[in-house]
Structure formats: C-alpha cells, structure tokens
Amino acid sequence: MAVNNELFKGTLQTIILNLLSENERMYGYEITHKVKSITQGELLLKEGALYPALHKLEAEGLLETSTEVVDNRLRKYYSLSPEGEKEVVNKLQEARDFIQNLQLLLNLKPSF
C-alpha cells in the first residue's frame, strides 16, 4: 500500500466483495489494477495480500471461481456466491458504521 498503508488493514475483504458486487466477475490481477485506478495510485493492493484473501473468501463460501485461458494465460475469475451476496450487504453496513465512528473519534465529520 502506497500512502497510508496501515489504515487499510482489515478493509480488504470488504473492498473485494464490493468490487465483485459491482462487476459480476473479476480476476485477481484485474482487482489490483482496479483498486489502483479507483484510488489514483494511493492504495497499492499487494498480490501477497490479495491472493490469500481471495482464497480465504472462497474457502468460506463467499466466492466462486471459474478458470479461463485468455491469450494463452490462465485467468481465475471470482464471483459472489449467494452467501457472498448477503455478506457484502453486512460488510458494507459495517464499513458505514466504521467510517461514522472514525469520523466522530477524529472530529472529521463537519467538513462538508
């Protein structure tokens, strides 16, 4: 992670699940680039963090996979399982509460 490394700890699962709720299916390498482009390079999602996280979410039954060969290279596509669809709703609500509480604790609320 580029700028504020430490703070993003714990948000990775939520970020992955949300991207997949918007994009139907994505593969790992694509996710790292998507995160980079959305944050304009401020958050660099490391592969060493991403792949274990994807495997864990799959093992928990929140993600499903299908592999394809594109241009003679393997792609492992991930998509939300039915449980993943439910979980992303919870995770997003938790994220909203988290941001709310953090803004309260840091007096960042009334900036706009």
Partner DNA sequence: TTACATACCTAAGTTTCTTAGGTGTGTAAG
Partner DNA sequence: CTTACACACCTAAGAAACTTAGGTATGTAA
Is 24 one of the binding residues for DNA (CB under 7 A)?
Answer: no
Question: What's the CA gap between 106 and 48, in Å, rounded?
Answer: 31
Give the chain's end-to-end CA distance (angstroms, integer).
Answer: 27
Do residues 73 and 67 make contact, with C-beta atoms less than 8 angstroms apart?
A: no
Return the closest-CA partner of residue 44 out of 1, 95, 98.
1
| Site track 47-86 with DNA (rule: CB under 7 A), x = hit | xxx-xxxxxx-------------xxxxxxxx---------
Which positions lie near a second copy, rule CB under 8 A?
3-4, 6-11, 14-15, 18-19, 22, 35, 38-39, 42-43, 92, 94-99, 101-108, 111
56 binds, among DNA, a second copy, none (CB under 5 to 8 A by kind): DNA
